[in-house]
Structure 1
Amino acid sequence: MTNADDPTARRRGPGQAPVWRWDGPVSVLRLPLDVHDPALRRHVERVFATAFAVRRAVQRDARARLTAFATARQLRTAVDPAVARDRLGLTRAGLEQAAYRHLDRAAHLRRYLTKALAMHGADVVWQALEHHLFPDAAGRRRERAAALSRRGGVDVNVSNLAIVSVPAADAGDALRVTRIAATGEDVERLTAERLRQRRSRALQRSRRASNPGQYRLSDGQQRRADRRLAAGLPPVQVPVPRGPRIATVAGAPVQAYRHDRTSATYRQLRAAIAADGEARTHARTADSSATATSSPPSSAPTPPWPSRVCPARPGSTGPLPAPRSPRTAWHPSATGCKEP
């Protein structure tokens, strides 16, 4: 008789010791995020917007599954409630799989969101849902979300968002109205972004109008030209072709952009864009200087720069190089470094 045949044999099971937990102090280090760069700011905003959209989609899935679980009385009576929840996908793993499916169906979201972040968003939804499904130590359960007991509508305008909700049943609650408007820095940022987009489109139109032979016709323009040709009508000169740039097989433009003809309007727009960029650079420099001035001085001494380190080759030594013109070719003798 072996241990496998002995029903009284001791087998490995859950530990009897309490789970270790840290009860001491916890330090949190908050680091600022520099989003002065417009491109970086847009990317960060899209990351948060994508995460919020996926979480809202998972919330809708959880709400639908919770409603199905509440109305499936026969299923809960016939089988165990845990089996019913598993069949309906009302579990942590089920919500995580729902988040994965949303990402797979919208491939463009993968640029800003990973499956790990989507899984964390689904876990947050499950934590809120878990308090409603399972009672706590005192036997209490959280009620369903207020959004499930109210019906509402959303009015999206150019500069504001209005949300109106009424009770789903005759509960006696009053009408609730919430209005969200963009003010202050948001308005300034949106205005600057719209100005940048308008200038970019104006530059594209001006370049295409000044160099029509370097661009192809768009699909619509080409269809129109084919219809006129089939009808025997004379061709129409297109002032601004909206198709792609004429390029080689490798994708490089046949004519370099620096050889394009530019109009006076194009040059004025480029000068205005350069002036705005210089103003933003000065503003960021002033903010950095003000921050450095207001911050307390560091107590740690600044280490001196070594005087015998040669920046030309790792591991070599020598005096620091003398400043030279950018047009001057580099040579080891100019920096005092010795070639190996």
Structure 2
Amino acid sequence: MKNARLRLGIVGLGMASQPHALALAELTERIDVAGAFSPSPERRAAFAEKTGFPVVDTLEELLADATVQAILLLTPPTTHLDLVERCAAAGKHVLMEKPIEVSLARSVALVERMEKAGLRLGIVFQHRFRPVVRRLRAALAEGAIGETIAASAEIRWWRPPAYYAQPGRGMKARDGGGVLITQAIHSLDVFCTLTGIPVVVGCFARTSPMRHIDTEDTAAGMLRFANGAIGTIGATTAAYPGFPERIELSGTLGTATLEGNSLRLLYHDGRQDVMEGDGPTGGGADPMAFDHGPHKALIADFAAAIIEGRDPDASGRSALAVHRLIDALLRSSTEGRLVQVEGD
């Protein structure tokens, strides 16, 4: 087990492949890249030249290769369910870019397909692996701030016109949704891992006049949790020039504030626990302006999970929580009423 290795294939070589390639280049002692595939010969050639990883001409080459244990799936969300069906039929574990799929129903179906096949499914929620998030999760598990009374998440990002000028960007046909499922989902996933999933939500969501898209680029929600705690969510890609995402939890013993890569724990007895970090987290004009360290930690955990026969930290089943939250927020906005969040 100590020297066991994972052999994987990569499917999808668009923008999302960049941090994964950087991470995999630093994980060669544990992971072998068997080959990378894109339907585009130009993308295959560019990826091979830039990374040095091998490429293959067809997806079937990876699925038919008995030495390939897992697939790193980096394709648009509308393709996920069909591709995971093929991976499951071929007996491959899957690590897949967020979101799981474009609707809650398809997301649940995808997770259940992998579970039925007895295969591991990981979702690329790399923010769970940021050092400040790991530190805060540990503090909450220890009861550091007591019982949560109020919670908020603010994701005030900026995406320029050039971002939405790309074919299909911000459109339901390609992305499945707007700011909630495409951008804010990372921070909302972290929020759910810290607070648990709300039981009732209300939401307003809209498309600003800045964009010619058919999905929301601004949303505001209110939440109620099972223990009676209340909270708020704000998400937008129209806040120039983009600001660090912020999560704040107020408890009976203190308050925790996570802002970008910094964490502050302020206790009622006057103690403070501060963890300072720097560097962007992808909230500005360049969506790829972030360190690949969390991707590296996530991929390493996924590889270890396959080797050790356990679920990865960012498992498909755990990732359904944020999809249930987003589904309820959008239903509330559409229907103009409070909505119960669907249970697992």
Q: TM-score, normalised by structure 2?
A: 0.19
By percentage of residues, which structure has more helix?
1
Larger Cα Rg: Structure 1 or Structure 2? 1
Larger RCO (CA within 8 A; separation ≥ 6): 2
Higher strand fraction (1 or 2): 2
TM-score (norm 1): 0.19
